[in-house]
Homo-oligomer: A and B are copies of this chain.
Amino acid sequence: MNYFTGIDLGGTSAKIGLVDPQGRVLDSTVQKIDATAGFAEIAGAISDALGKLVKGQRGRRPAAIGIGSPGFVDAESGILIGGAENIPCLRGKSLTRFLEDEFRVPVSADNDATCAAAGELKFGSGRHFQDFVLLTIGTGIGGGLVQNGKVYRGSRGFAAEMGHMCVSPRGRWCNCGSQGCLEQYASAPAIQRLYLEKRRKRGLLAGGTNADVREIFKLAEKKKDTCAVDTVEEAALYIAQALGILINVLNPQACILGGGVSQAGETLLGPVRRSITDFSWPTMREGVEVLAAELANNAGLLGAAAGAMDRYGDEV
């Protein structure tokens, strides 16, 4: 039976796994990444770690290798163009070319949120749909698009930067250089900021205290802390605005919320669903499901492997 390799590239480590077409992880390992090392060293270490896993399959090579990477990966060359601040030494280089030469199998690389969409399509909440949008909400906000049962990557492979949709013209400045990006209003740090601002405004604490996002959602769920309730409502409103735009533009069957923040489940999904009616045409939103991503453990690995399956087919 065929299997695929998924490589989930992060700032401090790469998770590497062998995944079968049903989404079972046959074997996996974690390779630490020394961000100060050079490209050759990091790529070599990842390649060696993968080589060991492949050896465990009696040397049978994977059908294809998929890499999930932060930042912008050029679709054609696999070169990391930019945006991956934590692993600068990989920028301008193509890990796909390197691994292609090493393993002599097709290798593809996608932005990690694009991989997450591929993962949900193959193995998660997205498997019932042909057309959906995925929003991954964590430290940042990313996204993925699935159309006609395939991941849509855009002309250069950069599509679905939903975290940088403008939801507040002349609003907060974002790292990307624009103002009012969704990421500034609904990512984990943004939710923390919103909460603390509300507390401060209502004289409930001095500045500087930290608030955990999970804690904020728990407080909102219990409905005892109005600052928490209002914070979640506000973040949900911005998410709904972005989803409303995506519904009107893309006419999807479903909107899937993934990433750490979406683990709040109905506490977040409920207000998002209610507010979507404010931002989308009735005919367009009719029947559109708003639901949580399913893949939690190994989402990165499965997504990376699914990215390769999406490109090369399950039956390479």
Supply 8 further A-B pairs (C-beta < 8 A) apart from A131-B155, A169-B241: A147-B147, A158-B251, A158-B284, A159-B251, A161-B249, A162-B249, A165-B248, A167-B169
The A interface is mostly helix, strand or loop, or mixed, namely: loop
How long is the Cα–Cα vector from A158 to B288 in the complex, in angstroms? 13
Which stretch (A13-21, A176-184, A189-197) binds chain B? Answer: A176-184
Q: Say if the beta carbon of A246 comes within 8 Å of chain B.
A: yes
- The answer for the CA separation of A26 and B311 in the assembled complex, in Å, is 42
A251 touches which of B130, B156, B169 (Cβ 8 Å): B156
Residue of B nearest to A254 (CB): B155
**Closest A-B pairs by Cβ, 8 of them:** A154-B251, A131-B155, A159-B251, A158-B251, A161-B248, A155-B253, A164-B248, A165-B245
24 contacts across the A-B interface (CB closer than 8 A): A72-B283, A130-B155, A145-B249, A145-B250, A154-B252, A155-B253, A158-B251, A158-B283, A158-B284, A159-B250, A159-B251, A160-B251, A161-B248, A161-B251, A161-B281, A164-B248, A164-B281, A165-B248, A166-B167, A166-B241, A166-B279, A176-B281, A178-B281, A179-B278
In the complex the two chains form, what is the Cα distance from A278 to B179 in whole Å?
7
- Indicate if the CB atoms of B283 and A165 lie closer than 8 Å: no
**How far in angstroms is the closest Cβ of chain B from A143?**
8
Per-position 1/0 for A251-264, Cβ under 8 A of B:
11100000000000
Which of B176, B244, B249 touches A178 (beta carbons < 8 Å)?
A: B244
A10: interface (CB < 8 Å): no
Question: Which residues of chain A from 212 to 269 have any CB-CB distance to chain B below 8 Å in the complex?
Answer: 241, 244-246, 248-253
Interface membership of chain A positions 275-287, coded 1 if the CB is closer than 8 angstroms to chain B and 0 otherwise: 0001111111000
Please report the C-alpha to C-alpha distance between residue A313 and residue B284 in the assembled complex, in whole angstroms. Answer: 27
Whether B283 and A154, one on each chain, are in contact in the complex, defined by CB atoms closer than 8 angstroms, is no
> Is A81 located at the chain interface by the 8 A CB criterion?
yes
